Each structure stands twice: as C-alpha cells, then as structure tokens.
Amino acid sequence: MPISHSLTPMLLAVAVAFAAAITTFASPLKILPLQRAFPLDEPVDLNELRARDSVRHARILLSKGGRQSSIGGVVNFPVQGSSDPFLIGSKTTMLYFTKVKLGSPPTEFNVQIDTGSDILWVTCGSCSNCPRSSGLGIELHFFDAPGSLTASSLTCSDPVCSSAFQTTAAQCSENSNQCGYSFRYGDGSGTSGYYMTDTFHFDAVLGESLVANSSAPIVFGCSTYQSGDLTKSDKAVDGIFGFGKGKLSVVSQLSSRGITPPVFSHCLKGDGSGGGVFVLGEILVPGMVYSPLVPSQPHYNLNLLSISVNGEMLPIDAVAFETSNTRGTIVDTGTTLTYLVKEAYDPFLSAISSSVSQLVTPIMSNGEQCYLVSTSINDMFPPVSLNFAGGASMMLRPQDYLFHYGFYDGSSMWCIGFSQALEEQNILGDLVLKDKVFVYDLARQRIGWANYDCSMSVNVSVTSGKDIVNSGQPCLMISRKDMVLKLFSSILLALLLCTFFSLT
C-alpha cells in the first residue's frame, strides 16, 4: 500500500481524536453572578439579627414536615459582601442573592441563596401583598406566566407534584388543578403559590470564553401571596433560591439530569471587603476533612460530638448533641450567628470568660457578653474546636466566635457571636463558616471543610477534570494536568484507530 494512502486513516483518526479532546476540554461551565444583599451602613442591634435568624430557624423546623448538558459543568457564584454585620462605616451583608433568568423571553430575577430550604420561587405578576420596590437598590420583577412561551403550570397529577407531596411541600387546588405550595414561618410571615415548569437560562463557559443562551427546563415556584417580613420593601428581593437536599432543590434537579455534578462548595471571605465564591462543583484544597451527613434528615445535619476550648474538652451533657427529628446540628449559610442549645452554650460561654478573665475587661452590651480588648484578640482568646463524627474537627480562631462591635472607652469591644438556641437545634452560621472551603458532597453524603484564604482562586473538580475559579470573578480555566492526560488519551485512541485501519 502506498505511504500516502496509509497515512490517510492515521490523519483521520488523529483529527477525530483531537476534536473529541477539544470537545471534552470545552464542556460548558455555567456562571451566575452573586451580588451583595441587605446592605447596612450602621451597626445592627444583636436582637435584630436574632429576630431575623429566628424566622429562618422556624422555616427550617417547619420544613420537616429540556436538553441536557454533559455532566461536569460548573456553576460559579462570585460572592460579594461580608460575614460581619457589625462593620462600622461600611456596607455589609447578612445574606446573599444572585440573578437568575427564567422564561421565554427570559426575565431576570434577584433571588436569595439559601442552603436551608429546597425550593426556587419567584413572585408572580398576580402576587398580592408583595413589595413593589426594594431598599437594596435593585429593580423588582414579577414572573409573567402567560407571557412566557415555554411556561406551564404543574398539574395535580404530575409525578413531580406527587413527589413534592411526600415532603409536605405541595398542595392541590381542586378548582384549578394546579400543584401549589404554602410555606408559613414562625413569625406569621409566609408565601404561597403554585409550581411552574419553564426554561432556566444561564451562561455557559468554554474555557475562558462565555457562551450565552444556554438553558435547561426546571421546576420552580411562582408566589401569588406573601405576608409578614416578606412584604417589607427595605430588604425585598424577587424570591429564594433553594439549595437544600430535597428533590425539588435546584442542585438536585440539575445534578439528577447530569447538568451539574452532585456536589457544591463555598468559600466566604471574612475580612476586608468580604466576598468569596459559591460553585456547583467540588473545590479542591489541601487539608480537607470530612464528616458524614446524618441520614434521613431534610437539612445538612452533622453529628457534633464535643466542643473543646484551649484543648480542653468541655463538660457538656450528651443530650446537647443528640440527633433526632427535632434535635441535631445544622450547617446553614443563611444564618448569621451560631446557635448552641443551653446544655452546650452555658459551658462554652463560661470557658471563654474564664480563660480571659485576667486579660480583658468583661462588659455587658444589650444583654450580651462582650469584652474590652486593648491588643489583638488572637493574643488573648483561646482556640476553639468543634469535634464531629468521622474524626473531623473544625478549628475556630477567636474571630470565628467573636465579632467586633465598635469601641468603648478607648478600647475595642468584641462580643460572643454564639447565642443560646431558642429551639433544640445547634445551627452553625456564617460566623464560623467564613474563611473556610466547605464542600457538600451529596453523592458520598458528607460535608468537608478546610481553612482557606477565600480571596484566592480555587481549583474546582468535576467528573471530567478540574477548573480554576477566581474568587468573585467569572473566570475559569482548564488545568494543564488534566489537559495533558486527556491529550495523551486522545493520541492513544488515534493510534488504536490507525492500527485498525491498517489491518483492514
């Protein structure tokens, strides 16, 4: 056989394999920009924070009752804002929101990111008692179901509605045959509406290039009624973006269809101007430790076993860490402070105060235990360790359990950021979650964490490789290691194809 003819199949095989490799490298990476929410120009009273958190915790307790992309896509949420709501003279945030686009043509909505609930819902055009303006400086939008060419309401007979009924997240109207929902909160506020199916739009990233108009069908809620705090204009957004464990959560819907991997991560920057990153994918950092999720729980529950202060385990009654339908320890990015049940809170507060009794001046501020400090808190306050099942410990620096509350009599005033839980659940809020990478591995049913500078770029792993996500920026790049491995595999495939053609 002439040489020119024998090279033809080889060149063809190499071309095919190289094209396949390029296609693999260019698997779409989805981006949604996350923006600052609830700006505060002045210090907030701790009671106000507790009131907001208590509403959220009531929701946690009450909740107990199209064309597919290839798996491996990463959704990136560049985070803005700070975890410290008491920074004086600067805008801070207690919660975060992002922009999503729904419908055809697409309409943009500002929705609060929430790992403590499951449902994505936005306000409908027919919503009553809903705010028409927002003190956050954003324009509010309302979902126009009749105006969307791809919108359809979920009927009572739809299997998705039946699945939602099993989690008490749905109800049916005999008159309209619509699959509805009604969420009521502890302070009397709430929202109700009906489920829709429509197109969810996102940006797809090929390496460092953005490709617009990517989309996938998704089930979400269209709220027709709101009450209580949800009607207030000062902190109004268009809805809530649930990232809980339920089947109707966004992360469950996308991962079950192979659009994203069944894992998401966040890294919240605690100092300076705040910020960070929130991605659907696994952030890879050294020193990651994991603790198994408590099975058969609707939220991200971990088994907290003990608490140590300055290396000494506190004498805490074991009942403080029991796990049941009403007790346990929840990881919740939507909660600002951290809450311990009385059996754990009292020994913790006593241990901290005793360890610094000769170094700082204790002072009560609005009923809270605070301290007047003349030097760095790292030189005076002890390290704290939260010890979880699986041998995983979460090491807390003083700034992870204290917050700066201004100045008094020429000294800095720092207050305990742990409060006594009103219910029987321990809740870990942003104060302890900041400055750490957290990975929610739903496939392996575990949560991992490691200390990290959240202003730095992070490596994100998906099924097909790694990407680099710059904190606060929608910039992603394919790692060289994975590119070399994929290229080597493609060349090997080309040689095998060449051998096959030569033999034939």
Is there a cis peptide before residue 286, judged by omega within 30 degrees of 0? no
Question: What confidence score (pLDDT) does residue 40 get?
Answer: 35
Residues 383 and 240 grouped into a single domain: no
Statement: residue 39 has pLDDT above 70: no
Q: Which long-range contacts (CB under 8 A, 24 or more apart) does 378-383 make?
A: 380/356, 381/352, 381/355, 381/356, 382/309, 382/310, 382/351, 382/352, 382/355, 382/356, 383/309, 383/310, 383/311
Residue 39 Cα to chain centre, angstroms: 19
Residues 171 and 228 grouped into a single domain: yes
- For the ranges 190-204, 271-285, 403-417, the lowest mean pLDDT is seen at 271-285
Residue 389 lies in a domain: yes
- Domain containing 39 equals 29-260
Confidence label for 498 from pLDDT (cuts 50, 70 and 90): low
State the Cα angle at 282 between 277 and 284, rounded to 5°: 85
Q: Which of 118, 332, 430, 441 is catalytic?
A: 332
Q: What is the pLDDT of residues 386-432, one digit of tens each?
A: 999 999 999 999 999 998 888 888 899 999 999 999 889 999 988 99
441 is catalytic: no
Statement: residue 336 has pLDDT above 50: yes
Answer yes or no: are the C-beta atoms of 123 and 239 closer than 8 Å.
yes
Residues 223 and 315 grouped into a single domain: no
Q: Assign residue 323 the CATH number of its domain.
A: 2.40.70.10
- For the ranges 132-146, 150-164, 175-189, the lowest mean pLDDT is seen at 175-189
Statement: residue 32 has pLDDT above 50: no
User: End of a domain among 448, 463, 478?
Assistant: 463
Q: How many CB atoms lie within 10 A of CB 201?
A: 22
The C-alpha atoms of residue 165 and residue 171 are separated, in whole angstroms, by 7
Three-class SS state of 412: strand
Residues 173 and 235 grouped into a single domain: yes
Residues 238 and 297 grouped into a single domain: no
Question: What confidence score (pLDDT) does residue 481 get?
Answer: 42
Two structure tokens written together for 407: 């100045």
Residues 54 and 189 grouped into a single domain: yes
User: End of a domain among 211, 245, 260?
Assistant: 260
Strands 209-227 and 190-206: antiparallel
Q: Residues of the chain with pLDDT > 90: what percent?
A: 40
Residues 59 and 177 grouped into a single domain: yes
Question: What confidence score (pLDDT) does residue 103 get?
Answer: 96
Arithmetic mean of pLDDT, 118-129: 90
DSSP 147: T
Backbone angles phi, psi at 349, to 5 degrees: -60, -40
Q: What is the pTM of this model?
A: 0.76
Residue 276 lies in a domain: no
Question: What confidence score (pLDDT) does residue 15 get?
Answer: 45
Considering the chain, what is the average pLDDT of its residues? 77
Residue where the block lists tokens 């500002």: 110
Question: What confidence score (pLDDT) does residue 28 get?
Answer: 40
Question: What confidence score (pLDDT) does residue 243 get?
Answer: 85
Residues 306 and 251 grouped into a single domain: no
| DSSP per residue, 176-215 | T-BEEEEEE-TTS-EEEEEEEEEEEEEEEEETTEEEEEEE
Residues 206 and 339 grouped into a single domain: no
Residues 6 or more apart whose CB falls under 8 angstroms from that of 262 comprise: 251, 255, 256, 441, 442, 443
Residues 195 and 313 grouped into a single domain: no
Confidence label for 337 from pLDDT (cuts 50, 70 and 90): confident
Q: CA dist 244 to 247, 252, 273, 282, 298, Å?
A: 9, 8, 28, 16, 8
Answer yes or no: are the C-beta atoms of 136 and 235 closer than 8 Å.
yes
N- to C-terminal Cα separation, the chain: 12
The C-alpha atoms of residue 242 and residue 118 are separated, in whole angstroms, by 4
User: End of a domain among 260, 282, 300?
Assistant: 260
Sign of CA dihedral 341, 344, 350, 351: negative
Question: What confidence score (pLDDT) does residue 270 get?
Answer: 79
Residue 421 lies in a domain: yes
Q: What is the pLDDT of residues 292-332, one digit of tens each?
A: 999 999 889 999 999 999 999 999 999 999 998 889 999 98
Residue 152 lies in a domain: yes
Residues 206 and 307 grouped into a single domain: no
Strands 418-420 and 338-340: parallel
Two structure tokens written together for 397: 């620096």
Arithmetic mean of pLDDT, 273-280: 74
114 is catalytic: yes
Residue 390 lies in a domain: yes
Residues 401 and 453 grouped into a single domain: yes
The C-alpha atoms of residue 300 and residue 449 are separated, in whole angstroms, by 14
Arithmetic mean of pLDDT, 348-360: 95
421-451 burial, b at 16+ Cβ within 10 Å, e below that, comes to bebbbbbbbbbbbbbbbbbbbbeeebbbbbe
Residue 13 lies in a domain: no
Q: CA dist 139 to 78, 132, 149, 254, 464, Å?
A: 20, 9, 23, 28, 39
Residue 247 lies in a domain: yes
Residue where the block lists tokens 């797809």: 204
> How many domains does the chain divide into?
2
Q: CA dist 15 to 339, 390, 478, 484, 498, Å?
A: 59, 48, 21, 17, 11
Residue 137 lies in a domain: yes
Statement: residue 23 has pLDDT above 80: no
Q: Which of 53, 114, 158, 435 is catalytic?
A: 114
